[in-house]
Amino acid sequence: MLDIEVQTADAWTRYGAHHATRGTNVPEVDRLAWGYWLAGPDEELLGDLTGLRVLDL
């Protein structure tokens, strides 16, 4: 694995741990938006997401 990949994975792990410790409330969403103004495809592109969590980067 490249060093930047290790650094990125570490950063996301620390970020997640910070919010888990802090108890950040993550609201449930009813629609996945891929960009601004709800333009473009939505979660139907990914198939059935029931019971799954999706991270939009």
User: Mind listing the pLDDT tens digit for each residue in 2-51?
Assistant: 799 999 999 999 999 998 899 988 777 776 666 666 666 666 778 888 88
Domain extents in the chain? 3-46
For residue 54, give every residue at least 6 positions away whose Cβ sits within 8 Å of its Cβ, in sequence order, or none. Answer: 32, 43, 46
CA pair distance 26, 7, nearest whole angstrom: 25
Q: How far apart are CA 42 and CA 36, in angstroms?
A: 12
- What is the distance between the alpha carbons of residues 12 and 46, in angstroms, rounded to a whole number? 23
Q: What is the pLDDT of residue 57?
A: 55
Q: What is the pTM of this model?
A: 0.44
Q: How far apart are CA 44 and CA 46, in angstroms?
A: 5
